Amino acid sequence: MNPAGEGLRQLDAVSVLNAKATLVHLLGRAGVHPEHAEELIGLVQAGTLAVAHTEISRSGESAPREKGEPYASGWLDGAHAVGDELADIAERALRDAVGADPSQGSADAHRPVGRMELERAKVAVGTLYPSFAAVSDLDPEVSEQVLTAVLGTMSTRERTGYAGRLTRFASAHRVHLEQLYAQYGPGSAIAIHGRYSLLHSPTSIAVLERLVTEPSALREEWDAAELPPAWLEGLTRAWDSAA
């Protein structure tokens, strides 16, 4: 109980919508288009529900056995039911934010890269890059074109979880990446101009992840964007030599 004698209260629907509208309004003052603000808020909502689903699923694994088997069985059934419902709500929230999950063969499976998808990718690579390399004086001016090519290899739904995918890649290949940037990145003996230039840009982490997981799709998008072939060749050589 709080000092006023009231228990924990949930926010009502009107107050939630008011907070959302206020945030959209404030982001609009900063130059964010309302549609983009709605998309970001929708992703946060869907992600919060997904986290809640994970927590419920975990709690359901530890039923209080000391109260007897029927109680524990009911506990597990209830946890599974709540978890399933939360998963459905999270999926609906994600569809509301970014659209339905198209089938693999759908023409909409790889829609054009959106502004917020690009901005989220910038934040993702900008967060990871400093853990491998110092900020360089040379950052190719085609960063957006590079990230657009990278995101073009993914479906709309895959792009929503791109930051997590990139973080998992960096974690799984941390030693390899550290060696690569030490040998070819900022501060190395390699000249900053030439085929290894992209290693001086945070976007290089994004390109490397695609080179490892979807090389054919990346090369197709790279050629379509008319990006320097030497950069892709340089990253490929650097990755192989640092192995």
pLDDT tens string 219-228: 999 999 999 9
Q: Compute the distance between CA of residue 144 and CA of residue 208 in angstroms, rounded to an integer.
A: 16
Residue 104 has pLDDT above 50, yes or no: no
Q: Compute the distance between CA of residue 176 and CA of residue 141 in angstroms, rounded to an integer.
A: 26
Mean pLDDT along residues 20-45: 82
Contact 56, 82 (CB under 8 A): yes
Q: What is the percent of the chain with per-residue pLDDT over 70, rounded to a whole number?
A: 86
At 193 the pLDDT is 74
Name the helix (H) or strand (E) containing 166. Answer: helix 162-172
Helices (H) and strands (E) in the chain, counts: 11, 0
Provide the pLDDT confidence category of residue 5 given band limits of 50, 70 and 90: very low
Q: Compute the distance between CA of residue 44 and CA of residue 20 in angstroms, rounded to an integer.
A: 11
- Residue with the larger pLDDT of the pair 102 and 201: 201
Residue 177 has pLDDT above 80, yes or no: yes
- Residue with the larger pLDDT of the pair 112 and 76: 112
Provide the pLDDT confidence category of residue 162 given band limits of 50, 70 and 90: very high
C-beta atoms surrounding 29 within 10 Å: 7
b/e map 154-176, b = 16+ CB within 10 Å: bbbeebbebbeebeebbeebeee
